[in-house]
Amino acid sequence: MSAKKVTATKHPITVEDHKELNRIHAARKTTAVSDALKFPDGDQFEADLNEIFSSDAESSGEIIAIALTDSDKFDHINRDFGVEEGDRILIATGKYIESCLPEGAKIYRIGGDEFAILFRGSMEREEIFLLLNDIKNNYDVKTPDGVPQTITVGLATAFEDASRTPELIRKADSALFRAKTAGGNRVALAREEKMVPKTSHYTQDQLQRLSRAAKQEGIGEAILLREALDMLLKKYDV
């Protein structure tokens, strides 16, 4: 099915026009970068993690860790230099990260300027952290005006930081967020989380369903609430 063509008109551009233009741009960009890199996507990343959590990886002593990488201040590249330049930087970034990974590590493109890395094998968490720090320090991609770009990384370890896929991804994403908030261009480790008391009101039905869900999944209600809040924050891009 061909995309609807949005043509210039004398009337102001409508919300629907904006949506269509954004959809066409996103599809073109995703195809350009994805075709060049040929990395598995976010769905495959989650599927691979689900397979690991349902395997005997923990009992066998296998080290499983994930890293989420994000390009710092990437928005201005498309704005100042155009989407083709943005694509070039994403492709260069993906190829660079892939070239630095050890045997057994796998890279995914999970959306926008974000990549995920799955480490599986005998590398200890500290070794993975040092490797990611080296990758960050030796990243040498520049914009056309010669300004060096930087990347930020969040790292979380399966079984130690989390016991299921959504929680592990959220822990890595939280580490990434902390690192970005601190100025970027750094690697951050997942850390133990403590619930902050908030005045909240839930219906009796919601609390009962939450309790059933926690029992069904075999995890704490607080973990489910954190996952739900994380999904809400991602929805509103905050």
Task: List the CATH number of the domain containing 40.
Answer: 3.30.70.270
3 vs 152, more confident:
152
Q: What is the DSSP letter of 186?
A: S
Return all residues near 208 (Cβ < 8 A) that are at least 6 apart: none
pLDDT in tens, 117-141: 999 999 999 999 999 999 999 999 9
Shared domain check, 124 and 50: yes
Longest dimension (CA), the chain: 67
pLDDT in tens, 38-66: 999 999 999 999 999 999 999 999 999 99
- Does the structure show a pLDDT above 50 at 163? yes
Shared domain check, 222 and 114: no
For residue 218, what pLDDT band results from cuts at 50, 70 and 90?
Answer: confident
How high is the pLDDT of residue 10? 45
pLDDT in tens, 3-37: 444 444 444 555 565 556 555 555 554 578 989 99
In a domain, 2, yes or no: no
In a domain, 164, yes or no: yes
CATH code of the domain in which 210 resides: 1.10.1220
Shared domain check, 219 and 177: no
Residue type, 45: F
Residues of the chain with pLDDT > 70, as a percent, come to 82
Shared domain check, 187 and 201: no
In a domain, 78, yes or no: yes
How high is the pLDDT of residue 143? 92
For residue 204, what pLDDT band results from cuts at 50, 70 and 90?
Answer: confident
Tokens of 90: 């994403």
In a domain, 8, yes or no: no
How high is the pLDDT of residue 15? 55
Shared domain check, 157 and 236: no
**Residue 208 burial by CB count (10 A; 0-12/13-18/19+): exposed, middle or buried?**
exposed
Shared domain check, 166 and 238: no
Shared domain check, 85 and 165: yes
Q: Which range, of 23-32, 138-147, 151-160, averages the lowest pLDDT?
A: 23-32
Q: What's the rounded mean pLDDT across residues 71-91? A: 92
Shared domain check, 222 and 182: no
Could you give the CA distance from residue 72 to residue 53 in angstroms, rounded to a whole number? 31
In a domain, 214, yes or no: yes
Domain encompassing residue 139: 21-193
Quote the pTM value: 0.74
What is the chain's mean pLDDT, rounded?
85
For residue 186, what pLDDT band results from cuts at 50, 70 and 90?
Answer: very high
Long-range contacts of 229-237 (CB under 8 A, 24+ apart): 230/170, 230/173, 230/174
Shared domain check, 203 and 92: no
How high is the pLDDT of residue 6? 43
Shared domain check, 200 and 189: no
pLDDT in tens, 88-103: 999 999 999 999 999 9
- Number of separate domains in the chain: 2
For residue 228, what pLDDT band results from cuts at 50, 70 and 90?
Answer: confident
- Does the structure show a pLDDT above 50 at 188? yes
- Does the structure show a pLDDT above 80 at 115? yes
Shared domain check, 162 and 50: yes
